[in-house]
Structure 1
Amino acid sequence: MRDTLVIDIETKKSFAEVGGEKNIRELGISVAGVYSYAKDAFFAFEEQELPKLEDLLSDTGHIIGFNINHFDIPVMEPYLDGVSFAKFAVTDMFEDAVNFLGHRVGLDGLAKATLGSGKTGHGLEALEWFKQGRIEEVKKYCLDDVRLTRDLYEYGKKHDHLLFESFIDGKIHSIPVSWGKEIKKPILQILEEAFDSRQRLSIEYVSSEDSDGLGFKKARLIDVYKIKPNGEIEAYCHLRQGLRNFRINRILKAEPTSDSYSVPQDFQHTLFT
């Protein structure tokens, strides 16, 4: 079975030193931190040791990181000519979070809200340590980030969501994720089919807030009354005994039941209105 690697890199230079993000490939690598699932081990490679990372990647099918698509991979590519990153399945936690939220969220914020502990430093500190020759401190900092990233991934796989503190209301909110899950049929297609056949659905839904103290993820039985063009459905929720709006991208799983239902007359009998 091919390996899964969690990867994080520290650079030799800052964006300011190379003339901005357009020159990302010139940042250079001071340390590449890796966790190998197959070996259950952490590795910290200095620049001259990067061929060892290439060896690990040769037997890897899945890589995990935080902003790995737009940062770590472009920085690694000049060093790893023999590696085609296009062949890997990539889980980019930063990308998944931004795509859902519509705004940036940091590794530190996710880790503090989800795991109860955050980063041990800042990337700019690691730059200074490298320039001062304090390479062991850079390695420790880098591997601490690798460990956080791995632990966040494992939490997301187990609980189907991560947590973050909103800068808008200061509350803890959830970000649904479906890492490690095989998606057999798109959720929207299941909703449309259930609406057409008037078939009750059993769903797993991740609420934005844990308003009742019973957890963010709950199993619910719903009857779909309307599928809206804004990415929501209006449905009768048997858990809450009333009408509720559900965001489709917060529905982790939907399965038809053997029960049917009728849509009240005051709802339009069309999929989209």
Structure 2
Amino acid sequence: MLLAIEQGNTNTLFAIHDGKAWVAQWRVATETTRTADEYAAWLYQLMHMNGLDFKVIDDCIISSVVPQSLFNLRKLCQRYFDRQPFVIGENTHLGIDIRIDKPREAGADRLVNAIGGHIKYDGPLIIIDSGTATTFDVVAADGGYEGGAIAPGINLSMQALHQAAAKLPRIAIEKPNRKIGKDTVSAMQTGIFWGYVGLIEYLVASIQGEYGQKMTVIATGGVVSLFEGATDKIDYFDHDLTLRGLLEIYKRTLATSAAS
């Protein structure tokens, strides 16, 4: 079985694939001080609850945008699964062109998403990933990664608003039914939520205009379900896109190693 680890700035996803399907998935808050032993103790309990043992793990693959945590994730794989993990950007084969000015700066998560989108949808694509940051990534019809845009995530914007303005409370993000808030909380929810819908719609239209052709728009990420039904600019909501990309990179890496 394959253990796939996808680490973002806010959450880290652990998922197990049995060769046919994803059989288990768990999330934990990303903390740069969490040790390999702490990860192992947490993961052991969850795997045990699902009838799984550490011995069933044959391989590991990691995608991380948090360099401070990568050491301990690598140690987790080495110490508890006796495996040298595949790490996006280090020892994996992506099989795509990275067509930006500084390819080394392309985030692992954005490249994984590009591959996860390309193998399922007809291109070219715009992939919107809504997490700590909201990213807009352009994927060519041949799967090449062509860049995009990065904006603050919706939760980050809400947090900044609360911290910077003394009288604005910390609130939960919800989809408001109206555009004119009648109190402070509803006004904040309206501004943040519909402001993000506006951000999505404007950037999608602008990117398509600059690209010069119709593009399929896919949305993924931890809070993306908030926007379902709020805009017609998104063609597909795909919560499995990142894991699909990780699995495909794993397969491509194995195939390349076998051929060499």
Query: TM-score category by the smaller chain?
Result: 0.3 to 0.5
Greater fraction strand: 1
Taking CA–CA contacts closer than 8 Å with sequence separation of 6 or more, which of the two structures ends up with the larger relative contact order?
A: 2
TM-score, length of structure 2 as denominator length: 0.37
Larger Rg: 1
